[in-house]
Amino acid sequence: MSKFQVDMHCHILPAVDDGSQSMETTLKMIQIAAAEGTTHMIATPHYKKDRHNASPETVKRLVAEVQKLSDDNGLGLTILPGNEIMYFSDMEEAFDAGKFTTMNNSDYLLIEFYPDDDYARIKRGVEMTQSLGLHPVLAHVERFAELRKDPNKVEELRNRGALIQVNAASMVGEQGFGTKQYVKKLLKRELIDFVGTDAHHYESRAPHMEKCAKYLESKVSAEYAEKILYRNAFEYFGIR
């Protein structure tokens, strides 16, 4: 497997969203990640309009606490800050007020949509993110019905400047055969930029990357596998 693996989409910060609910759960999650070769994790708690969301200050504090947890347990993980933003039409106001965190404080933003959002709304989300001076990273595109219908729409979004993330479990068939086949089409056309676990717990939706990494390295070129597993995250998000 690759020397590095970056899980750039995971919900490991305790008690801030529907992911980990305690530091004990977080420890079990990061132990799994480290055991499977993950070296870097970007914590991406949900940010949703009109919800109680962790502030950037809280995210920063919890990232430091989880980093200490990793260090104290000799796991060798680097924990970095982020958010997963559910697109909403007045994102600009929240951004100007400094209410959410970009990927490792870069100019890349992880953004998601509802599964049944139409293509026009997804394009508006891309354009809105770009109007803020940020580069959109579309979270788990395999969930969006409009994009599943036509992989050409994913290519169009990339041509518009969006980057594409899929979940590790989807890539290896754990979300169903149809989802795996769809992701395989995206892989064949090299339309995927990142893979993340979207982990929420240590049992169901755990931060498993190893199986996906092995799958990638058997299905695509070594160069492309490395890009998806870590090089793109290092380059775009300023990971060191």
Separation CA 37–CA 218 (nearest Å): 17
Token pair for 55: 């502030």
Report pLDDT for 137: 98
Q: State the pLDDT confidence band at 3, using cuts at 50, 70 and 90.
A: confident
Task: For residue 185, give Cα distances in angstroms to 72, 151, 216.
Answer: 42, 8, 13
Let me know if domain 6-237 sits in CATH 3.40.50.2300.
no
Q: Could you identify the residue written with the tokens 């958010």?
A: 83
Separation CA 215–CA 166 (nearest Å): 14
Contact between 136 and 125 under an 8 Å Cβ cutoff? The reply is yes
118-129 mean pLDDT? 98
178-182 mean pLDDT? 97
* Residue spans per domain, the chain: 6-237
Percent of the chain with pLDDT over 70: 99
Separation CA 49–CA 39 (nearest Å): 32
- Using the predicted structure, report yes or no on whether residue 166 has a pLDDT greater than 90: yes
Separation CA 147–CA 149 (nearest Å): 5
CA of residue 42 relative to chain centroid, distance: 8
134-144 mean pLDDT? 98
- Using the predicted structure, report yes or no on whether residue 1 has a pLDDT greater than 80: no
Q: Is 90 exposed, middle or buried (0-12, 13-18, 19+ CB in 10 A)?
A: exposed
38-61 mean pLDDT? 97
Report pLDDT for 2: 65
Q: State the pLDDT confidence band at 44, using cuts at 50, 70 and 90.
A: very high
196-223 mean pLDDT? 96
Tens of pLDDT, residues 86-113: 999 999 999 999 999 999 999 999 999 9
Burial 156-167 (b: 16+ CB within 10 A, else e): ebbeeebbbbbb
